[in-house]
Amino acid sequence: MRISNFTDFLSESESKSKTILILIAMNDEALPAIKSLGLSPLPKQGKMPFMLYGGEHQGKKIVLMTSGKDAKYNVDNVGTQVASSMATVGIQQFSPDIVINAGTAGAFSEAKSTIGSVYIGSIIKYHDRRIPIPGFEEYGKGDYESVNIPESVKNLFPQAVVSTGNSLDITDAERKSMAELAKKGPIVKEMEAAAIAQVCSWNETPLLVLKSVTDIIDGSEQTADEFQKNLQIASGALQDALLKVIGKI
Ligand code: SAH
């Protein structure tokens, strides 16, 4: 489908087909999916930095947003603040039937994760929001769930706890508590999902979190180097996973 302008795309979205909003932080994470879904760039709306792509795939309307670049630092926008703004704008503008947050993450060899492993989020929570005041403590941790996702979709990939924070590196305390959880099953560490889950829950919009592994937290390599080295492999795995998931929605 060729999209000549934004208004056409929006009015076509009023048809009966499902609208899927895919939120991906980084451009390099999104490129393989943009290509294989056959999405075209949509004009940028307003002054927010987000990039928009749209198209139709298997009879579903797809809108894919990336966080765009920070104009001052000239790097991709990542992290929770940007993710929640992007989710807010995307949900308000496109009223999706479902949001998919796709991206890369760190994981643990203790839980048998390897580079390119793909997971569907089960519990989605924050690991760096410590507010030791009664009530606020649990609020800080989050604990969102992927709600209203059909079992047929949930069963496509193994499930993992998704742990969100605003750093690529990890403190000793965070490493210790995540390593404990990794003994029980897969856990992935990334920088956006819980923020998006919070906005989706306010809007009562179903959310599916799909993460592929770029780096092994309990491995020997330095995270930033390992991330760069494996970004392409993991983004390719993410694209394959997205195609499978979209087919089942
Ligand atoms: N060093 C990178 C910066 C990427 S920030 C660069 O130079 O381009 C990391 C991005 O990948 C975030 O969007 C985050 O969600 C994801 N990510 C991958 N591995 C991660 C990890 N181990 N910890 C936190 N975020 C991770």
Decide if 240 is catalytic.
Answer: no
The amino acid at 119: Y
Question: 76 C-alpha vs ligand 1 centroid, how far in Å?
Answer: 10
CB 192 less than 6 A from any atom of ligand 1 = yes
Instruction: Give the mean model confidence (pLDDT) for residues 185-210.
Output: 97
CA–CA gap between residue 141 and residue 161 (Å, rounded): 13
Contact by Cβ (8 Å): 91, 203: yes
Question: 16 C-alpha vs ligand 1 centroid, how far in Å?
Answer: 36
The yes-or-no verdict on residue 162 having pLDDT over 70 is yes
- The runs of H, that is alpha helices, within the chain are 6-12, 27-36, 80-94, 136-141, 151-154, 172-182, 193-202, 223-248
Question: 106 C-alpha vs ligand 1 centroid, how far in Å?
Answer: 8
Decide if 29 is catalytic.
Answer: yes
234: number of CA atoms within 13 Å, CB side? 28
CB 25 less than 6 A from any atom of ligand 1 = yes
pLDDT bin (cut points 50, 70, 90) of residue 9 is low
Instruction: Say what the pLDDT of residue 122 is.
Output: 94
The yes-or-no verdict on residue 30 having pLDDT over 50 is yes
CB 110 less than 6 A from any atom of ligand 1 = no
Which residue in 76, 110, 190, 215 is the catalytic one? 215
- Whole-structure pTM value: 0.94
With a pLDDT cut of 90, the percent of the chain lying above it is 88
Which residue in 29, 76, 110, 192 is the catalytic one? 29
The yes-or-no verdict on residue 8 having pLDDT over 80 is no
Instruction: Say what the pLDDT of residue 1 is.
Output: 42
Q: Which atom of ligand 1 is nearest to the CA of 192?
A: 15
Instruction: Give the mean model confidence (pLDDT) for residues 133-141.
Output: 95
The yes-or-no verdict on residue 186 having pLDDT over 90 is yes
pLDDT bin (cut points 50, 70, 90) of residue 2 is very low
Q: What is the pLDDT of residues 47-70, one digit of tens each?
A: 999 999 999 999 999 999 999 999
Question: 227 C-alpha vs ligand 1 centroid, how far in Å?
Answer: 7
Instruction: Say what the pLDDT of residue 209 is.
Output: 96
Contact by Cβ (8 Å): 116, 230: yes
CB 77 less than 6 A from any atom of ligand 1 = no
Q: What is the pLDDT of residues 200-221, one digit of tens each?
A: 999 999 999 999 999 999 999 9
Instruction: Give the mean model confidence (pLDDT) for residues 76-95.
Output: 98
Nearest residue to 107 (alpha-carbon basis) of 233, 244, 224, 211? 211
